[in-house]
Amino acid sequence: MVARQPAAVLSIGSGSAYADDRLDAVAAMADSGRVTYLGFDCLAERTLALAQIRRMADPAAGHDRRIGALLPLLHRYLAAGGRVVGNFGAANPGAARDEFARGLARLGLSGVRIGTIHGDDVRHVLAEHDVELPELGVTVKELGDRVVSANAYIGADGIVDCLRQDAQIILGGRLADPSLFVGPICHELGWALDDWDRVGLATLAGHLLECGVHSTGGNFEDPPYRVVPDPHNLGFPIGEITDGAVTITKLPGTGGLVDAMTMKTQLYYEIHDPATYLTPDVTADFSAVDVDDLGGDRVRVTGARGRARPDTLKVLVGVDQGWRAVGEMSYGGPGCVARARRAEEIVRRRLEPYAADIDELRIDLQGVDSLYGDQLRGGAPSEVRLRLAVRSRSREVAATAAHETELLYFGPAGGGGNTTSIVPAIGVTPAYLPRELVPIEVEVSES
């Protein structure tokens, strides 16, 4: 391997913030010539659970479903040597690698090195050590076969390993969101993964990039008080990282806004304790971060620090909870709330014989009490939508509950727009493992 000199600055773009994010901005970002890397965050707790459901139904599925649509948008970028890092693997990294390889072959891109990171799937480790599930008050063995998945949040180590082997596309399963950016930053700038202050800065960059248009105004908008230009065409953020600072910007001509307020909005998003932000790579400290608005959609952020990374890794455990059924019915006009309340009463009474087989039942009147219960008072709405959600180990019982909302067509008066659905219910709950029990392996292959 040829020795390389660390870069003075790295430009890295956000390509995705979750599993079903839009791809219309990716081609412009890739073709702009502005970024050396594109980081794709493709997961959340919900989306990983949905990926597990797909894998359970089809062992060849469970990875990101956008790979086939994404690759043609990256054709010129990859041909020019651009690099891609993402947790495209979700529940099935091997399948993601294979789809990338097939797609590259269709594009005539041969010799592209694909790095695949394995090791986040720790279901067997949890079973072997009978790990506690604190939110449920049980251990893994007590749930038995109901534990269908367990994925550890893993860090930047495997990404750096793949980059050292000259991988151009790096993918894994539950790679932690900021780690997707920490890996390239540390590799390109020559930072050691135990240089805690620098890894803290890299994590700050990852945090400002991982949520896509959150950093360019999407999560900032609150009309009429806070508005951003052209919200229909929000640009994705670009990070320019040097030793000591992160500058966030976006492509010219795209919508949205990068200023001190949009940065601060994303900075405190999902952080909990800004002085102790736990990730697989570092215990980051953002409490003394300084945000400097440079104007022209450019913001410089400094002051992140770090301490040693946690000794444990968080694990997202998927639990088979049977079936989830949802049924909805709308009521409008004078008396709509009273009629919807009557409908709720009818459905609850009709479901009483099935109570022993129903693990969870919730009925809300959307527009009245679905978010805040009875805490908010106001005038009578002109329309409401009754929503039933039920969880049961019996598919038949779940289907019966959903069907009861369809029967509301026959009273109370004026019900309309019924919809129902029944899907497998995979609950997610955290566990924690000593990191030495989560061995990470990488393999690099060529398309």
d(CA 226, CA 213): 15
Residue 97 placed within a domain: yes
pLDDT band at 375 (very low <50, low <70, confident <90, very high): low
232 and 110: one domain? yes
97 and 208: one domain? yes
The CATH number given to whatever domain includes residue 388 is: 3.30.70.1150
State the pLDDT at residue 111.
94
278 and 138: one domain? no
Percentage with pLDDT > 70 across the chain: 97
Render pLDDT for 295-317 as a digit per residue (tens, 0 to 9): 999 999 999 999 999 999 999 99
Number of domains comprising the chain:
2
267 and 327: one domain? no
56 and 127: one domain? no
State the pLDDT at residue 182.
98
Mean pLDDT lowest for which of 150-154, 352-356, 368-372? 368-372
393 and 289: one domain? no
Residue with tokens 């599993």: 19
Which residue, 274, 289, 310, sits at the end of a domain?
310
- Once rounded to an integer, what is the mean pLDDT over residues 80-95? 97
Render pLDDT for 160-202 as a digit per residue (tens, 0 to 9): 999 999 999 999 999 999 999 999 999 999 999 999 999 999 9
277 and 139: one domain? no
pLDDT band at 1 (very low <50, low <70, confident <90, very high): very low
Which residue, 271, 293, 310, sits at the end of a domain?
310
388 and 408: one domain? yes
State the pLDDT at residue 376.
53
Beta bridge partners of 324: 391, 423
Residue 4 placed within a domain: no
Which residue, 258, 290, 310, sits at the end of a domain?
310
Mean pLDDT lowest for which of 251-255, 363-367, 396-400? 363-367
Domain range holding 420?
A: 122-151+311-447
Render pLDDT for 386-439 as a digit per residue (tens, 0 to 9): 999 999 999 999 999 999 999 999 999 999 999 999 999 999 999 999 999 999
Residue 2 placed within a domain: no
